[in-house]
Amino acid sequence: MTYEVEKTEEEWRKQLTPDEYHVLREAGTERAFTGEYTDTKTTGVYECRACGAELFRSDTKFESHCGWPSFYDPADSAAVELLPDRSHGMVRTEVRCARCGSHLGHVFQGEGYPTPTDQRYCINSVSLRLVPRED
């Protein structure tokens, strides 16, 4: 896959902390309930920590109590790419940044949350950077 932002693994390692690199570039997962944005209620825009692309907005964030920040819709459907993920003996849908290909988390559907899309974008805090904004 070709992305607008392309870097070597060495360049990514220099730019990102070890935890950021593990999640964003190696499709890792931060431990539940440890991320800085899990309970954040600040108004703003969530950008990709690797490339700065706008991914989610605070008005689509909701409390799912799953241990990671949850959103019911990306800021723009073209901001993320969805890929089948059959790792760990299950079938899931991986969410990546469409601009740089960084792993963000997974999206789940049909879990019964009272959201307009019936989706839960379960995103690692370490994949995001919150830019506070006033409405």
Q: Where are the domains of the chain?
A: 9-130
Q: What is the pLDDT of residue 98?
A: 97
Q: What is the pLDDT of residue 135?
A: 60
* Segment 101-123, tens digit of pLDDT: 999 999 999 999 999 999 999 99
CATH number given to 9-130: 2.170.150.20
CA dihedral 15, 20, 21, 23 (to 10 degrees): -150
Point out the residues of the chain with pLDDT beneath 50. Answer: none
From 48, 97, 100, 122, the catalytic residue? 122
Q: Is 100 a catalytic residue?
A: no
Average pLDDT, the chain: 95
pTM (two decimals): 0.94
Q: What is the pLDDT of residue 93?
A: 96
Q: What is the pLDDT of residue 2?
A: 87
Looking from the CA of 16 toward its CB, the CA atoms found within 13 Å total 26
Q: What is the pLDDT of residue 41?
A: 94
Q: What is the pLDDT of residue 91?
A: 87
Q: What is the pLDDT of residue 89?
A: 84
Q: What is the pLDDT of residue 88?
A: 80
Phi, psi of 90 (to 5 degrees): -140, 165
Q: What is the pLDDT of residue 60?
A: 97
